[in-house]
Amino acid sequence: EIVPLKDPKTIKAGEAFPLQIFYKDKPLVGETIIATSDTFVVKDMEAATSHREPQAFSGKTDSEGKVNFIPLIEGVWKLKVIHKEPFEDQKVCQHSANYATLILPVGKARAKLPPKPEHHH
């Protein structure tokens, strides 16, 4: 779980915004959180449309599971943390992955994203 430690309405581009990450109700120590925004993704649409979503922020949690998220530009930000643990039966699977995401609007800027291409599998 990604928990804002301040009111999300106060977040501003270029300023640190504190977060705390939890897993099973305990702070998640030493885990990496990544983030990107719509206004950042449009700068490299080729990467975005080929499932290589460009990242604009990365930070590692401290001993209390805390990290300062610093959105450098306005936009709608998607923050994500993936926590992997060894799977109980290694013959079945190597890792169990747990995901948490948080969407935070920063300022008023929004990107005009092109329509998503249809995927045919």
The predicted-structure confidence for 36-72, as pLDDT tens digits, reads as follows: 999 998 888 787 777 777 899 999 999 999 999 999 9
Interior angle at CA 86, CA 66 and CA 82, nearest 5 = 35
pLDDT range class, residue 73, cuts 50, 70, 90? very high
What is the H or E stretch that residue 12 is in?
none
Q: For residues 83 and 23, what is the distance between their CA atoms, to the nearest angstrom?
A: 8
Whether the CB-CB separation of 38 and 70 falls below 8 Å is answered with: no
- d(Cα 29, Cα 19) in Å, to the nearest integer? 13
Domains of the chain: 2-106 (2.60.40)
To which H or E segment does residue 98 belong?
strand 95-106
Determine the average pLDDT of the residues in 102-116. 88
Residue type, 49: T
pTM: predicted TM-score of the whole model, two decimal places = 0.84
Binned at pLDDT 50, 70 and 90, residue 118 comes out as: low
